Amino acid sequence: KNAAADGYTLLLGSTSTLAANPGLYKQMTYDPADFTTVAVNGSVGNFMLVNKDAPYKTVREFVAFAKASREKLFSGYGNASSRVPSALFEVTTGVKFEEVAYRDAVASIQDLAAGRVDAVFPDQVVGESYVRSGFVRALAVTSAERSALFPEVEAIAETYPGYNIIAFSCFSVRKETPLEIKRRLNRLIMDALYEPAVLERVKQLGFQPPPRDWDIARCDAFVDRERDDWLRYIKLAKIEPQ
C-alpha cells in the first residue's frame, strides 16, 4: 500500500485480505479499495472434513446425526476462511456447533483425526494431503460444484442449494498505478497462467482459473463481488467483527 505506484510491487491478494477481513475486523490498516486487482489466479472451494471413522458418509447423514445427538458437536477453525463456511453451514442446516479456535488449519485437522472436534472446513490446498492419505475423510466441498480433483466428494450445495463458498488468489496493485501498466500486468500474468506447465500446476493445486481473456475490469469486479458475498456470509453467520 505504501510502495511506489509503478507496478513493480504487487500484492498476492487472497480471500482473507481482500474479501473477508472487512467484515471480521472493526479496524484495519488498509482498505481493499486501495488496490486494483489486475489478475485472478483461480478459485477453489473448502473441504468439509470429518473423522475417518465417523458413522456418517454424506452431508444429509451428518445433519441427521447432529440433530439427533445429545452431545455437543465441535467445529474447529484456523482462520476466517475456515470459520465462515462452518458458521454458514450452521445457519443453512440448523446444526449447532461449539467453535474451537486453532493457531492454523493443520492443528484443527490433527485434532479432528484425534476425535477432539467433529468437523473442520479448511481450504482444499491445505487439506488435500490429509484426505489422500486417509488421515481424515472429506465429507463434502463448499463450492457450488464438485472439485475436479475429488469428483467422488459431494458438494454441500447438492443437499442445500445456494450454499457456495470459495477461496481465491489474485495479483493486485495500488489503484494509483497508471492504467497502461495495469493493462500490461494483466496480460503478462493471465498469459503466464495459461502456459501449459503453469496451468497444469494450478489445476494440481485444485484451483479453477478464470478464462484467459479476463481483463482488469472483470478481475477487479470478481474481487468486489466476493467481498460483497463474504460480508453477507459473515452477517448471516452472525459473526461479530473483532
Mean residue pLDDT across the chain: 93
Q: How many CB atoms lie within 10 A of CB 131?
A: 20
pLDDT more than 70, % of the chain:
100
Distance CA 140, CA 159 (A): 10
Identity at 81, one-letter amino acid code: S
Q: How many CB atoms lie within 10 A of CB 202?
A: 18
- Copy the grid coordinates of residue 71: 452431545
Asked if pLDDT for residue 193 goes beyond 90, the answer is yes
Report pLDDT digits (tens) over 197-242: 999 999 888 888 999 999 999 999 999 999 999 998 888 877 888 8
Contact 117, 76 (CB under 8 A): yes
Task: With CA atoms as reference, report the closest residue to 77 among 110, 98, 100.
Answer: 100
